[in-house]
Amino acid sequence: EHQTGEEICAFFNNQLVIKMNREAELNGLFEESIQNHDFQIYLQPKIRLENQMLGGAEALVRWIHPERGMIYPSDFIPLFESNGKICTLDIYMFEEVCKLVQRWFKEKKQVIPISVNLSRLHMKNPDFLEEFVAIKEKYQIPDGIIEFEMLESVFFDTQQIILVKKVIQDMHKHGFLCSLDDFGFGYSSLALLNEFDVDTIKLDRQFFADTMNEKSWKIISSLVRLADSLNISVVAEGIETKEQLTCLREIKCGMVQGYIYSKPLSIDVFENWSVNFGK
């Protein structure tokens, strides 16, 4: 059926209105959801390949709204990045992680390193780390347990090189580790390793997504060796198949995170999962 220009315009206007209404609605729910703890930590395990042990976990946000159900990051992170709410959310998530780690210590449970995602937006405030340091101290979190994951793209902005270097130094000074997330997609990723003193790189899921051929394994294998020689840990992300796992073992990749072991899990489920893992 033929549509007139006007009808097409009306359609897109409608779509736009729907999108704007939805965004306005999510924005309106934000404050109350923070207060009601509707944002929750989900944990996805990272497995150390050499001994098949739990080596850590990544904290990923889930918005579990009493009326709207589970809302995934892709539905709200871009929105909250566009209006700055992401910084509040990141700090909230970090504090929840600190509470969890403190509880693990109190209950004499196994304490594993946890990584927390940081939006690029924090970089706009050169003193942003102070708030994180204060929270870390409030919950008496020892050094070396919390790692911040920052997207590779944060490091590309040449305007920010000095600032980012300083941030990484400060992170180390205060006992945090620093991880380069979604590594390998920028065109000068390797230069970043020379420029910035990061502790970990996370090889993006896309690396392993294409039908893997010999050439791409050679690239991954040399990245792993390069990182190793620089004393940088490697996490392969988004691993789903046994074949991928076999290859990663062969090239001695440090850690693996992906559905092959587990999806991100609520805290309760994660605690049960980790007790049973390897039994």
Which residues of the chain form contacts with Ca ion (CB under 5 A)? 117, 149, 181-182, 237
Give me the DSSP letters along 135-151. Answer: HHHHTTPPTTSEEEEEE
- Applying CB under 6 A, which of residues 27, 34, 48, 73 lies at the interface with ligand C2E? 73
90 binding partner (options ligand C2E, Ca ion, none; Cβ < 5 to 8 Å by kind): ligand C2E
Which one of 5-13, 86-94, 104-112, 159-167 is the stretch in contact with ligand C2E (CB under 6 A)?
Answer: 86-94
Both tokens assigned to 144: 């070396």
Compute the half-sphere exposure of residue 9: CA atoms within 13 Å on the CB side of its CA: 3
Measured CA distances, 102 to 67, 107, 144, 176 (Å): 31, 9, 14, 16
Residues 250-279 that bind ligand C2E (CB under 6 A): 258-259, 264
- Applying CB under 6 A, which of residues 27, 64, 65, 77 lies at the interface with ligand C2E? 77
How many residues touch ligand C2E under the rule CB under 6 A: the total is 21
164 binding partner (options ligand C2E, Ca ion, none; Cβ < 5 to 8 Å by kind): none
Give me the DSSP letters along 233-265. Answer: EEEEES---HHHHHHHHHTT-SEEESTTT---E
Q: Show Cβ contacts of residue 171 under 8 Å, excluding neighbours closer than 6 positions.
A: 129, 148, 177, 178
Residues 186-225 that bind ligand C2E (CB under 6 A): 205
Residues at the interface with ligand C2E (CB under 6 A) = 44, 60-61, 72-74, 77, 86, 90, 93, 117, 119, 181-182, 205, 238-240, 258-259, 264
